[in-house]
Amino acid sequence: MTSREQRMTRIGFIGLGRMGMPMLRNLVAAGHEVQAYDVAEAARVEAREAGAEIAPSAAETASEVNVLISMVPTGRHVLEIHTGPGGTLARLPDGALLIDCSTIAVAEARALHAAGAERGTPVLDAPVSGGVMGAQAGTLTFMVGGEARDLDRARPIFQAMGRNIFHAGSAGNGQAAKVCNNLLAGISMIAVSEAYTLGQRLGLEPATMREIVSTSTGSCHALVNYPPVPGLLPNVPSSREYRNGFAAELMLKDLRLAEQAAMDTKSSLPLVTLAASLYGLFCGSGSGDLDYSAVIRMIEGAPAVTARP
């Protein structure tokens, strides 16, 4: 992409939710022309106010663009939008690049790449990490699967929305990196919740435990930077009643993707299964919209186990 093209990229953007809207704002702020669509009218109104043109449908965001980005909830949405009857792939101009940033199954991402290849449309799977705050600040991490030359072409677009851009390998490998990251995040949050709960019941102050373990072999991101105990750090969801974080129901969705990937690869991942069950119970109790670190409430509230005589 030449520097002139970088300034003038015309981008289609589908899915203007918690992540998509701030990503769109950063693309507009970087000087790109964006035509956008969301099924929700309120989102379309907000995107227009943010400086985007609004397309009449998802498929029509593909007209006359150089790059088309989607950021929708699930793989079913992604495949319907792009490959279904009247999907975007039938409309994208020759040479345009399709980038899906949603978190979906590796197999679904590979199906999207295959559908693109059939039409000669290059595809990148580019899920993100960094949450809503990262999307707003333009500091997302992109984990990209696909051809290196397509990533090179898309790099200025990613740089308008993110800070760390990784090539994870061929088709679907962006989603592979994402599912591995999120299974670690989900499982380690449960382990950290168990440690804080037990520590407190043994009379250990959470702040003291955090300080000690942070320089010991149990240290991890959830314990040090994202503690589930309120009041240890000011800017984490636990200190604002678990609001505005990464919803437990999204963590459950990602653990289900890990279970699916385990089945597809004939892998046995018992901790993934257990963690999915625990987040499933937590979400089933009506708390799925809270940040996933709120799972500590379920662990703290679990009934005491009494030894058999």
- Show which residues are catalytic: 178
Cβ nearer to ligand NAD, comparing 9 with 103: 103
The verdict on 132 binding ligand NAD (CB under 6 A) reads yes
**Residue 85 CB partners (closer than 8 Å, separation 6+):** none
Instruction: Tell me the window of 4-12, 37-45, 211-219, 225-233 that interacts with ligand NAD (CB under 6 A).
Output: 37-45
Using CA atoms, how far residue 240 sits from 214, 228, 232, in Å, is 23, 11, 11
* Near ligand NAD by CB under 6 A: residue from 34, 35, 36, 38: 38
**To 5 degrees, how large is the angle CA 78–CA 84–CA 87?**
80
Rounded CA-CA distance 72/93 in Å is 22
The verdict on 45 binding ligand NAD (CB under 6 A) reads no
- Contact track, ligand NAD, 66-85, x by CB under 6 A: -----xxx---x---x----
Instruction: Tell me the window of 18-26, 88-96, 222-230, 255-263 that interacts with ligand NAD (CB under 6 A).
Output: 18-26
The verdict on 16 binding ligand NAD (CB under 6 A) reads yes
Cβ nearer to ligand NAD, comparing 72 with 261: 72
CB of 135 to ligand NAD, least distance (A): 8
- Contact track, ligand NAD, 247-286, x by CB under 6 A: ---x------------------------------------
**And the tokens for 58?**
């998802």
Rounded CA-CA distance 303/1 in Å is 60
* Near ligand NAD by CB under 6 A: residue from 6, 17, 44, 169: 17
Instruction: Tell me the window of 38-46, 141-149, 197-205, 286-294 that interacts with ligand NAD (CB under 6 A).
Output: 38-46
The verdict on 20 binding ligand NAD (CB under 6 A) reads yes
* Near ligand NAD by CB under 6 A: residue from 142, 158, 226, 246: 246
| Near ligand NAD in 290-309, by CB under 6 A | none
Where would I find the H helices in the chain? 3-8, 20-29, 41-49, 75-83, 106-119, 131-137, 148-161, 173-201, 206-213, 221-224, 248-264, 270-282, 295-301
For the chain, how big is the Rg over CA atoms in Å? 21
CB of 15 to ligand NAD, least distance (A): 4
Residue whose Cβ sits closest to ligand NAD: 17
**And the tokens for 2?**
């030449």
The DSSP code for 225 is T
CB of 253 to ligand NAD, least distance (A): 6
Is residue 263 a contact partner of residue 107, using CB atoms and an 8 Å limit?
A: no
* Near ligand NAD by CB under 6 A: residue from 13, 37, 158, 292: 37
The verdict on 103 binding ligand NAD (CB under 6 A) reads yes
The secondary structure of 112-159 as a DSSP string is HHHHHHHHT--EEE--EESHHHHHHHT-EEEEEES-HHHHHHHHHHHH
Rounded CA-CA distance 257/109 in Å is 12
Number of residues binding to ligand NAD, judged by CB under 6 A: 25
Neighbours of 300 (CB within 10 A): 15
CB of 21 to ligand NAD, least distance (A): 8
Q: What SS3 state is found at 196?
A: helix
Residues that bind ligand NAD (CB under 6 A): 14-20, 37-40, 43, 58, 71-73, 77, 81, 102-103, 128, 131-132, 246, 250
